[in-house]
Amino acid sequence: MIKLDNKDIQILSVLQRDGRITKTALSEQIFLSPTPCWERIKRLEKAGIIAGYGAQISITSIGNYATIFMEVKIASHQAHDFNLFESAVQNMDEVLECWAVGGELDYLLKIVVANIDEYQAFVDRMLDSEIGLLKYSTYIVTKKIKESSVLSEPLLNSIFL
């Protein structure tokens, strides 16, 4: 585990909000000269803390869509069965996120499709695919209240320091 300090946390905080910021602007914002700032970024990338950079697409500006959360319980709880399901999910473009969870269910999936008919077709494919799906529940999102992948600076501090 890499040891982070306050400057590393500041770098992470800024880059989460603006991944296209120039090295010079970033170094000015966190009060560090450009070369040490760049070296820190490279160290954070090498350690896997900065996993990548990319554009955030506003799907609402493109067209209509439906976001659905699906709870999944699989039929058997052998390692092979979990691997089978997890491998299958990796190839499902509609599944944006999938978490293995403890408790009453085994997985929670975030699914995006054009409409409910496409969701039903997705479910039908899952049921036909013999990936061990025993039971599922569907929750259709009616309104997004909050969505963020940004970890605040205080949260980063509590995790890393």
User: Which of 108, 107, 142, 136 minimizes the C-alpha distance to 123?
Assistant: 136
**Running DSSP on this structure, what letter comes out for residue 82?**
H
Is pTM beyond 0.85? Reply is no
User: Which of 72, 74, 109, 108 minimizes the C-alpha distance to 94?
Assistant: 109
Task: pLDDT tens for the chain, 161 residues: list them.
Answer: 789 999 999 999 999 999 999 999 999 999 999 999 999 999 999 999 999 998 888 888 888 899 999 999 999 999 999 999 999 999 999 999 999 999 999 999 999 999 999 999 999 999 999 999 999 999 999 999 998 889 999 999 999 88
Task: Give me the residue spans of the domains in the chain.
Answer: 6-55, 61-140
CATH number of 6-55: 1.10.10.10
Decide: 92 and 98 in contact? Cβ < 8 Å.
no
CATH fold for domain 61-140: Alpha-Beta Plaits (3.30.70)
